[in-house]
Amino acid sequence: MARVSELPEAEKPISEKFRVAAKKWAQADSAAHIMEEMKTTTLEQMKTKLIAANAGMAENKAERLVKASKEWEAYIRKMCSFRSSANFLRQEVEYQRMRHREWVGANADARAEQRLSTGHA
């Protein structure tokens, strides 16, 4: 018997598609969350490095220079990209949830139609 993960995509049950989408979303959300939580720490590390290399530099100047740097811009862009990916994957999870609800509803409708057509209401 084939494992669910080995089935062609079209034959996989909705539950498996949901599980895969949820796992991808959780991983992407975790990466985005870490970047967001580390924002202050990363800023302080970058400021500390700049001040150490430029003795006597004021902290506010170091912060301004760091926030104007390409390195900080790249960090912010990466953080936002991770959040965007997580948001997209969250919508994939919701799509799979909706597909399951539609499937349940369609099955209930089919059973009701069958009862009506056989006269067993």
Q: Do the beta carbons of residue 90 and residue 29 sit within 8 Å?
A: yes
Residue ranges per structural domain of the chain: 31-118
What contacts 45, CB < 8 A, 6 or more positions away?
none
Tell me which H or E stretch contains 78.
Answer: helix 70-118
Q: Please give the structure tokens belonging to residue 5.
A: 């993960």
- pTM listed for this prediction: 0.73
Residue 22 confidence (pLDDT) above 70: yes
Q: What is the mean pLDDT of the chain?
A: 91
pLDDT at site 21: 92
Tell which wins on pLDDT, 76 or 19: 76
Q: How confident is the model at residue 49, as a pLDDT? A: 97
Residue type, 28: A
Q: Outline where 54-69 has alpha helix (H).
A: 59-67
> Would you say residue 121 has pLDDT above 60?
no
Give the pLDDT score at 14: 84
Give the CA count within 13 Å in the CB-facing half-sphere of 82.
18
What are the CA-CA distances from residue 8 to residues 3, 13, 22, 81 (Å)? Answer: 11, 10, 19, 30
DSSP class of 1:
-
What local confidence, expressed as pLDDT, does residue 2 receive?
A: 64
In which band, very low, low, confident or very high, does the pLDDT at 119 lie, cut at 50, 70 and 90? low
Q: Which of 73, 9, 21 lies closest to 46 in space, CA to CA? A: 73
